[in-house]
Amino acid sequence: MLKEGHIRIPAGCAISGIMNKKGEVTSGQEIIKSIAVMHDRSNGLGGGFAAYGIYPEFKNHYALHLFFDDKKVKQETEFLLNKFFSIDLAETIPIRKINAIKNVPLIWRYFVKPKIKEMALHETESEFVVNFIMRINSEVEGAYVFSSGKNMGTFKGVGFPEDIGEFFRLDEYKAYSWTAHGRFPTNTPGWWGGAHPFSLLDWTIVHNGEISSYDANRRYLEMYGYKCTLQTDTEAITYIFDLLLRKFGIPLESAINIVAAPFWSKISRMNPDEQKLFKALRVVFSSLLINGPFSIILGSKNGFMALNDRLKLRSLVAAQKGDNLYIASEESAIREICKNPDKSWAPKGGEPVICLLDGKESLYEFDQVDENEFEHHSVAL
């Protein structure tokens, strides 16, 4: 049977997210309880979590989480890692042995910094890291980088999400933002790399749905150097946001209006300035419209954004209590951990719920001189 990346596998899912705007950290127990309520939305073939703020002692290092099939491929990968990065700590990710989780691969994490001399002349640091990950994931058979941000990490595997949470001892981590995913693939041999969240640099994404625009999105992304090795919607959606926000410097609200574009009928009723912008967004980025059902939580170190497709073909509920914002596929998953929220609501299709840390203005910050990227792209012709 072909594993993920060799074949496209549709999947239904459950998603959940908790965040504290003040940046106060809590353990993973709550998010595990929340996603466990939606047990029936998963089928035991994939579960995972993303956590922000968990590695304060290494907050300036890229924390690379990797799966290896065997020791040989680990050695091969570490050779490449050593070539391009200085590794300040390498260790196995601590786990708890439980019966429900089987066929465990080698799971390691590396806290690294890129070697400046290995970077190409016009490459930014983030591009350098992304290119390295793309290379490992597409070229090194049996190795897979599943987390690569700073002061954050994703933890995932084959099993129900609550079991995965226990397996990775998430009760021992403290984060200000948690997202979780339970998977219901219709057909999968159970590959750990295929579980979600999907992650690239600080971006993580949990997603429920099956997008019908997948190949249109993928083939556009590939023009910009992304390799969609997993053939999953989640991977494509992550790259779309990475391209729009990081590479093109498009503001988040415009990026949302690209992936969940308003209908032309709505655009025709806007004022002339708005109309000009919205028309340009749809005309220029038409291949990045995400069509078909989806509900997603896109996480970054600054916060997260939850979004439905423009027809709202998937369930998504939000709630707020004090400084905490909750998102889940079902309201029950929120009520389980927050009995009486100040308010709860079902966001409309295409209408984002954005939660940012106090003092932050956007999900993405240009921490490099990424302004220069404009110049790179304009000389393409």
Partner 1 sequence: MSINCLTPAFLIERDKDRCIDCQVCVRQCANEAHRWDEEEQRVFSEDANCVNCHRCVVMCPTKALHIKKFPLEFRYNANWTQEAMRAIYLQAETGGVLLTGMGNDRPYPIYWDHMLLNASQVTNPSIDPLREPMELKTYLGRKPDFLKIKNGKLLEDIPPQLELELPIMFSAMSFGSISLNAHKSLAAAAKKAGTYWNTGEGGLHKDLVEHGDHTIVQVASGRFGVDADYLKTAAAIEIKIGQGAKPGIGGHLPGEKVGEEVSQTRMIPLGTDAISPAPHHDIYSIEDLRQLIYSLKEATEYQKPIFVKIAAVHNVAAIASGIVRAGADVVAIDGFRGGTGAAPLRTRDSVGIPIEFALAAVDTRLREEGIRNKVSLVVGGSIRNSSDIVKAVALGADAVYIATSALISLGCHMCQKCYTGKCNWGIATQDPQLTKRLNPEIGAERAANLLKAWAHEIEELLGGMGINALESLRGNRLMLRGIGLTDRELNILGIKAAGE
Site string for partner 1, 151-190 (x = CB under 8 A): -----------------------------------x----
Calpha distance 277→154 (Å, rounded): 36
Give yes or no for residue 377 binding partner 1 (CB under 8 A): yes
One-letter amino acid at 340 equals N
Site string for partner 1, 357-376 (x = CB under 8 A): -----------------x--
DSSP state of 243: I
Calpha distance 318→211 (Å, rounded): 22
Only segment of 36-44, 246-254, 319-327, 350-358 that touches partner 1 (CB under 8 A): 246-254
Only segment of 67-75, 130-138, 284-292, 358-366 that touches partner 1 (CB under 8 A): 284-292
| Residue 82: CB minimum distance to partner 1, A | 32
| Residue 280: CB minimum distance to partner 1, A | 5
**Is 355 among the residues known to form the active site?**
no
User: Within 192-231, which residues bind partner 1 (CB under 8 A)?
Assistant: 209-216, 219-220, 222-224
Residues pairing with 147 in the sheet: 65
Give yes or no for residue 316 binding partner 1 (CB under 8 A): no
One-letter amino acid at 82 equals N
Most distant CA pair in the chain: distance in Å? 61
| Residue 41: CB minimum distance to partner 1, A | 13
Give yes or no for residue 2 binding partner 1 (CB under 8 A): no
Joined together, the tokens standing for residue 212 give 């019908």
Give yes or no for residue 10 binding partner 1 (CB under 8 A): yes
Calpha distance 67→110 (Å, rounded): 12
Cβ neighbour number for residue 345 with a 10 Å cutoff: 12
Calpha distance 71→89 (Å, rounded): 18
Calpha distance 349→346 (Å, rounded): 9
| Residue 254: CB minimum distance to partner 1, A | 5
How many Cα atoms are found within 13 Å in the side-chain-facing hemisphere of 244? 26
Q: Which among 13, 228, 338, 355 is annotated as catalytic?
A: 13
Sole binder of partner 1 in the list 254, 344, 362, 368 (CB under 8 A): 254
Q: Which CA distances in Å does 379 have to 11, 96, 120, 246, 283? A: 40, 52, 18, 18, 21
| Residue 5: CB minimum distance to partner 1, A | 15
50 with 153: CB under 8 angstroms? yes
Q: What is the contact surface with partner 1 in residues (CB under 8 A)?
A: 8, 10-12, 186, 209-216, 219-220, 222-224, 248-251, 253-254, 261, 263-265, 273-274, 276-277, 280-284, 286-287, 289-293, 310-311, 313, 374, 377-378, 380-381
Annotated catalytic sites, by residue? 13
